[in-house]
Structure 1
Amino acid sequence: MTHPTETPTRNSQVVNLLDRMPPAQRDALEKAARAQVQDSSPAGIADASTGTVKLSAEVDGQDLPVVEQIDETTRRRLRLHLPAALVSREVWQHRRAVVTHAAGYHASRSHLYAGRLIKLSAMGLRSELASAASYLLVSEYGEMIAEARVEAKRKGHADHSDVAQLRAERRTVGRARRRENLTVLSATGVTSYVAAVVAIAEVWGMALATPALLPVVGVMYACGLREVRRRSEPYVIFDQAAADEDAPLTDSTINAALRKIKVLGEEEIAELIGPIRAVTINACEATLKLPSGVTAPRVIAAREALAEALNVEPSWLDVRQAGHPNRITLWIATSDPFAETRVSPLVEAPERQDVWGRGIPIGFNRRGETIYLKLKHVMALLGGMSRTGKGMLLRSIICGLGLDPRVNIRLAAGAKPGEHIGYSRVCATFFGRRPGRLDLLLDALLMEANRREEFLEDEGRAKLGERDLAQFPLEILIIDEGQEYTQNSGPLSADIVAKIERLAGFAAALNIVVFLVTQDPDKNTVPRKFKSNSAVRIATKTGSPTQTNAILKEGATGNGLRAHEIPFERKGQTIVDIDGAEGELMRSYFIEDEEHDGAEPIITAGRELREQCGRAPGQFADPIEDYLLLATGLSSSGGGPGGRGKPGRPEVTAEEATVLDVILGAFPSGADRVPLEAVRTELADWDQQWAPRPEEEAAAYAGRIGKALGDALDKELEGTGVTLEPTRWREDSGRVRGYLKSDVEEAYEAARKIQK
């Protein structure tokens, strides 16, 4: 181990000694050096390097290495001992803002200050001239002479000797005062000063004479202040920059506002704990210790009144308890923190999400902090008026869910399923407005809930946890435009509502979540028992206090959660009542959906992630979709065939296909009928036994295939009570014999029910 030498280096050069060593020796040296650093490090972690070696050109005739070591730990510890008021960049940023604002504020009002100074100086000049005249003219004898005259008149005789005596004394005193040294010196000084100023102005001009007048201004200002104090009249020259509406936050501003709203008494003071610091470009934060008897909940309850006293919008102010009930942190912005939208972090980094632990990033609050939505052991409700940001918020939620392969997404679109087609690749179930299929889907979820409940009974546990997600994935049923199912589905509406309420009552602990999205919410569109069991409530702009209460909770408007007062033009601004953000005002993240599909890369990443884990739609055993397939013969996994939200026959292999499958596959896209000739061609492509035999005539082939087809159909439809026979219709080429699609689908459905 080399040691630093005390001899100064000359012509020093940097040499990497490791390059001159054999590889084995270099590896051993690096290992030993790192082990020593690790043992001596306070955190027990080896650093990235062990120093820089410098060689002197000549030290006692030998080249000796000199090791320079920089102790960064010492530097950091020294910085920790310095007060934040000296080393915090955010504190200095706020101080610069205060100084800059004060300079600009006073500069803009300099003309007012000049007028007030002139007025104050004139007041002092008048006062001093009057005092000097009264002193030199002995004006106090005037009152005594007047009183002597009145007394002589009262006695009724013409003896005015007292008056004459007073006048003589007045002349004597006045003559003495005017000859006093102070009077003579003062008159001489003033005369000389005026003569000097006039001379300077005559010789060098007013530009140089103006500075000579500053002593006069100073004296007049001092005389004016003395006169103001004598009168006991308030007179302010310089205004308080901190009282300006746009002034940065100060402790005096805060205390004045708290007194104004009657939270503090006139003599009480909220003390700053540490300096005020800037936290974003347009906001700052202060921590205060409240006086005894004033608690944080009291200040938080008066937040709207405090915002008014501080001349900001309520959404620009945030008050939180800082640990102790008598401590608060006050965050205030100088402009609207929700004015600009923010792109979802999922767009920049479509990485795997933790829906269970951390939650989905759905938006940001007034402080700019990310709001995460956790969907575990809860029921969720999202509502608001049309075109207020529900779709964009749902977009963030589905994209986040798609990036967690432990989640099965079941999406039932009540209207406009085309808006959700892009999500189909990560949806275990996706279909458009089909009340009957949603009714069956709820049945399947109830059956799955019962299966999971039996598992918990066997295990002796109360609820499923994160460790069970491999066996029991998080099932999230999203019902978009829920009013189309709960109100506008005829007789099925009552059944759907009943099943939703039943799931809400017990399925949350079984890793089954129902997420209801509705517009124009009221007590009819939101099932009562479902709302009572919803721990997640999100409201975009609503049309009335009634709608706000229907989404959030009864009395929400009285507690300041007034979603109906959100500006209509501020789409995406939302009130959330969720775990970690109770009654929080936020704005949802933005994912482009008009100029280009911003969700497409996120969904692609989610699909690839699910495929790697074997959790893409169709890759895993899905009892929910299996139930729907058995009940209807149609699959909606991944949005159904084509992924467009339209359930259809699942893709089957040639070995799994039946004659009915082949006939259905023979129909051209959009056609409602198919000729027998096309059916025979499709059958021949499916299995060679249906192909023409060598040298078999057309008539013989048609008769053989017709009989075989009839026998196969009778076998597949045995016990269904349904028969499938060809029919005839007329075309331009003549009469054609074949199958109608409605007949084939009816036979297919009947055969599927028998197979169940």
Structure 2
Amino acid sequence: MSIERIPSNSPDPEWEQLVAGYLNTPAPEPALQSAGPAAAKQTLPADPMGDTPLVPGWARTTGGWKGRTAVGRVNSTRRFRKWVRRQRTEHGHGAQTFRGMRRTFLWIQGTEGTQITAARHEVQQTQRDYKAAKWAHDRRLVSGKEKDKRRRDMEESFDDSVSAMSRYRAAQRDARLRRLTRGAVALGPIAAAEGAGLSLLGGTGGLLAAGTTLLTFAFLGRRTSAGELYTDRDAKIGDGDRMTDEMVNRVYRSAKVIGAEEEVKLLSPCTLTADGSAWEVRLELPDGIPASKALGATAQLANGFGVSVQQISQAKGAREDWLTLRVTLKVPFTGKPNKGPLLAAGKVNLWEPQPMAVSERGDVTAVEWFEKTALFGGEPGSGKSAAANNPLLSAALDVIADLYLADGKGGFDLSPFEGIAQMIDTDGDPAKLLAILTHLWEVVLPGLKQVVKDHSVRKFSEALAAQDDRVRWTVVYIDEWASYMAAASPEQQKELERLLRLITQQGRAYAVIVIAATQKPDSNAVPTGIRDILSTRWAGRCMTPEASDTILGKGRASAGYNAQRILKSQRGVGYLQTGETSEPTLTQSYFYTDDEVEAILRRAYELRAAAGVLPVAVEPGVTILDHLIKAAAGTGQGNVTRAEAFAYLATVDDDFVQGANETDGAYATRAGTEIKTRLDAMGIDVPVATMQRGTQRPRGWRLDDLIAANDRDR
């Protein structure tokens, strides 16, 4: 019974656990499963020969046997119909038997007929020569000498005719002897078998002997006149057939990947995966055929195998001519989405690869985020927000990660992060996004750079983080950049693009992760100069191949990585291209419901509260002086300029956010007046000093003066 007919969503938990232990690669442990005492004692039996049982226990029940019987009837009907279709061709058993009989007769006849024909032709020629010589001799009016000469010619012709006749009869006798010998060799066993069958079993034995004879003739005639063996040209995986070497070569020829006389070399046998979900084979392409040609023929290959495009997966090997072909028995990723591992995770270490998705083989796809940036794209409903939630939730569970979030849609996707985000905009306000980017560029990034200078290192590392508490991850997430740009003034647009490009380019070495999500990341949605340096790409379902190429890179769709082919039923499915892989991989991202997101973020809040790293905005009883002290301490230079202080204060107080039509000078004047008003209300006087920032000498506040004023106030 073929394994592909057994339902993969078996209700038998023992079967699921057993199959999980024999997958080609170790399967990840379920995040939400809790093992009881009985489960803890249960161990999988050893299977040193790899003979994994392919029939679960439920199939041996009454219902299981009925199901298997029904499958057997269907397969038998299919085999019979294919046999009937075969009989109409030159590969039919009747045609094979006739060819076998004809070839046997020709073998018995042999090549002696040519020798007999040649001898007969010689006899005929000598007889004609003799008749001509005799006619010339019988002429009356010929002199005596000429008469004698013609008589001698006639006698020689007669002798030649007699000799030729002798050779002709000898050739006939030799041919009869040889044919009788070969006939005895060929037909003797048939006669012996027929006689033995009749004598031992009567008529039944005769029929069996005759059937055996016909089978022998059919075996001898299995090759056509052109030398071709029978191959089921209608065999397709979509019809329940097994993948074979002949099928693979036939499909690649019909898809025009290889020539009519070429063959692909199979580096591994065509095997069914341990879980019975797909056929796999590793192959080597002929010389001169790049892997990109096969990758671009996915639709043609799907037609040849009788499956949908979504069921064909090809991956390049270590060499340009190596491919791994995988044909799933059903459309992948159409079931329930995978539960993410963060549900059972305590703390998260962003220095380690973070699981984001599951591949078609069931392997966990993890991404290293240091020195990485990301772009998530896809049409509405493709699941890009759910996919982007994976790195955001991982960062939330790492207490040394600061989150700066902005939602251009003005929706509620980022609202659960408000309690732990350093800065967040859920209104789609360009002014607030400008405040976030200004704070990152003027306050956060200089402080991170100062850490590197203090330790005389080139970039951040986990070891450096263990030595200095100032080493922190900075996660910048912007959803729908195009919405911000559409609502911003021309001056704001230029400043937003400038700041985002600078942060993206310079922040990689300082653990700054910039993540952008958009429906169609063209030059209007994400500036080209920024999009090109976003290393990690995730392409969900797209409307056109061009939109897919916009996310993954030019030419990816024609090379087989076309996100347009993702079905609407495949939620959360997308091509993931990371900095570690040169080719995109079709994956399904982990999915977290709203309740699960809130549960994870509650745990993140508790972890950050215990570590004392909650954002200033959510700490009770914090005054304007406390904000200035934190802003000055954050620069790492013992002071803070007014611009740096304003950018920091904009993260915690809307009064310090620059208006859409407000000039920089007017904004600085208003913000400075607001700070002085609040300090005066507290009865605190902090002197304004001149700072040194490169070649400029802006005005601001010294950390020592702020601390002294705070001590006097207390």
| TM-score normalised to structure 1 length | 0.55
Q: Counterpart in 1 of 2:408?
A: 414
Shift of residue 562, structure 1, vs aligned partner: 4.4
Q: Which runs of 5+ in 2 are unaligned?
A: 1-45, 56-71, 139-153, 621-625, 632-646, 658-677, 684-714
1:511 CA displacement: 3.1
2:188, 2:294 → 1: CA distance? Answer: 64
Match of 2:506 in 1: 506
Q: Is the 8 A contact 1:408 1:427 kept in 2?
A: yes
Offset of 1:485 from its aligned partner?
Answer: 0.7
The counterpart of 2:93, out of the listed 97, 111, 114, is 114
Following TM superposition, by how much is the alpha carbon of 1:572 offset from its aligned partner in structure 2, in angstroms?
Answer: 3.1
Match of 1:457 among 434, 440, 453: 453
2: CA distance, partners of 1:185 / 1:472: 93
Of 654, 671, 677, the match for 1:632: 654
Distance 1:139 1:460 in 2: 101
Letter of the structure 2 residue corresponding to residue 484 of structure 1: S
Q: CA deviation at 1:516?
A: 1.8
Tell me the CA shift for residue 484 of structure 1. 0.8
Task: Report deviation, 1:442.
Answer: 1.8
* Partner deviation per Cα, 1:649-679 (whole Å, 9 max, x = no partner): xxxxxxxxxxxxxxxxxxxxxxxxxxxxxxx
Task: Provide the residue aligned with 1:524 in structure 2.
Answer: 524
Aligned to 1:234: 226
Q: Show the counterpart of 2:438.
A: 443
Aligned-partner SS, 1:522: coil
- In the alignment, what sits opposite 2:483? 484
What does 1:270-669 correspond to in 2, within 5 Å? 272=267, 278=273, 281-283=276-278, 300-304=291-295, 316-321=313-318, 330=324, 332-335=326-329, 338-340=332-334, 343-346=337-340, 349-352=343-346, 354=348, 356-430=350-424, 431-446=426-441, 447-466=443-462, 467-468=464-465, 470-491=469-490, 492-544=492-544, 547-553=547-553, 562-564=562-564, 566=566, 570-591=570-591, 593=593, 597-616=595-614, 618=618, 627-628=649-650, 631-633=653-655
Secondary structure of residue in 2 paired with 1:476: strand
Match of 2:103 among 113, 124, 148: 124
Q: CA deviation at 1:517?
A: 1.5
- Structure 1 Cα separation of the partners of residues 133 and 333 of structure 2: 89
User: Per the alignment, do residues 351 and 528 of structure 1 end up closer, same or farther by CA in structure 2, a change over 3 Å counting?
Assistant: same
The structure that has the greater radius of gyration is: 1
Identity of aligned residues (%): 14
The SS at the match of 1:432 is coil
Shift of 1:390: 1.3
Q: 2:202 aligned with 1:210, yes or no?
A: no
Whole-angstrom CA distance in 2 between matches of 1:575 and 1:603: 27
- 2:583 alignment partner, SS class: strand
Residue 462 (structure 1) shift: 3.4
CA distance in 1, matches of 2:609, 2:574: 34
Q: The residue matched to 2:413 in structure 1 has which SS?
A: helix
How far, CA to CA, are the matches of 1:522 and 1:179 in structure 2? 87
Describe how 1:18-97 pairs up with structure 2 within 5 A: 87-88=49-50
Q: CA deviation at 1:120?
A: 2.0
Shift of 1:290: 9.9
Return the offset for 1:211. Answer: 1.5
Alignment partners' CA distance in 2, 1:547 and 1:505? 25
Taking a change above 3 Å as real, the CA distance of residues 155 and 253 of structure 1, as seen in their structure-2 partners, is: farther
CA contact (8 A) 2:119 2:171 kept: no
Task: Tell me the alpha carbon deviations over residues 86-112 of structure 1, each in whole angstroms, 9 at most, x when there is no partner.
Answer: 94558999xxxxxx9xx9999955865
Check the 8 A contact 2:257/2:297 in 1, yes or no: no
Equivalent residue number for residue 702 of structure 1: none
Is the 2:272–2:280 contact (alpha carbons within 8 Å) kept by the matching residues of 1? yes
For 1:721, the equivalent position in structure 2 comes to: none
Aligned-partner residue type, residue 213 of structure 1:
A
More displaced, 438-447 or 380-389?
380-389
Tell me how far apart the structure 2 counterparts of residues 276 and 193 of structure 1 sit (CA, whole Å): 41
1:327/1:533 Cα in 2 relative to 1: closer, same or farther (>3 Å)? closer
Code of the aligned partner of 1:461: V
Q: CA deviation at 1:524?
A: 2.3
What one-letter code is carried by the residue in structure 1 that aligns with 2:99? L
Contact 1:347–1:591, Cα closer than 8 Å, also in 2: no
- Superposed displacement of residue 522, structure 1: 1.6
Aligned partners of 1:130, 1:147: CA distance in 2, in Å?
Answer: 26
- For residues 582 and 456 of structure 2, what CA distance do their matches in structure 1 show? 33
* 8 Å contact from structure 2 (residues 372, 579) kept in 1: no
Deviations 1:455-506 (A, max 9, x none): 4334433333334384343221211111111233334333322322232232
Greater RCO structure (CA 8 Å; 6+ sep): 2
Q: 1:214 to 1:154 in 2, by over 3 A?
A: farther
Note if contact 1:381-1:538 (Cα within 8 Å) is conserved in structure 2. Answer: yes
1:212/1:263 CA distance change after superposition, 3 Å: closer
Give the aligned residue type for 2:488.
S
- Between the aligned partners of 2:281 and 2:215, the Cα distance in structure 1 is 40
Offset at residue 236 of structure 1 (A): 4.0
- Measured against aligned partners, the alpha-carbon deviations of 1:566-614 in whole angstroms (never above 9, x if no partner) come to 5565443323332223332222324265xx7453443344344444444
CA displacement, residues 39-81 of structure 1 (integer Å, 9 cap, x when unaligned) = xxxxxxxxxxxxxxxxxxxxxxxxxxxxxxxxxxxxx9xx9xx
Using the alignment, how far apart are the partners of 1:209 and 1:386 within structure 2? Answer: 74
Task: Indicate conservation of the 8 Å contact 2:339/2:591, yes or no.
Answer: no
Give the distance between the partners of 2:373 and 2:111, measured in 1 at CA: 88
CA distance in 2, matches of 1:565, 1:481: 23
CA deviation after TM superposition for structure 1 residue 351, in Å: 0.2
CA contact (8 A) 2:127 2:161 kept: no
Decide whether the 8 Å contact of 1:124 with 1:221 is kept in 2.
no
Structure 1 residues 141 and 422, CA gap change in structure 2 (3 angstroms): same
CA contact (8 A) 2:478 2:515 kept: yes
More displaced, 401-410 or 149-158? 149-158
CA distance in 1, matches of 2:487, 2:292: 41
1:448 positional shift: 2.0
Check conservation: 1:279, 1:285, Cα contact below 8 A.
no
TM-aligned CA deviation for residue 452 of structure 1: 2.7
Aligned length: 534
After superposition, give the CA deviation of every residue in 1:701-748 in whole Å (9 maximum; x if it has no partner). xxxxxxxxxxxx9x9699xxxxxxxxxxxxxxxxxxxxxxxxxxxxxx
Quick one: structure 1 residues 241 and 426, their matched pair in 2 at CA, closer, same or farther if it must change by over 3 Å?
A: farther
Work out the CA distance in 2 between the residues paired with 1:584 and 1:220.
53
TM-superposed deviation, 1:248: 3.7
Question: 1-side partners of 2:273 and 2:568: how far apart?
Answer: 30
Structure 1 pair 156/237, CA: closer, same or farther in 2 (3 Å)?
farther
- Could you list the per-position Cα deviations for residues 21-50 of structure 1 after superposition, in whole angstroms to 9, with x for gaps in the alignment? xxxxxxxxxxxxxxxxxxxxxxxxxxxxxx
Shift, 1:436, TM fit? 1.9
CA shift at 1:366, angstroms?
4.1
Cα distance change of structure 1 residues 302 and 218 upon mapping to structure 2, 3 Å threshold: closer
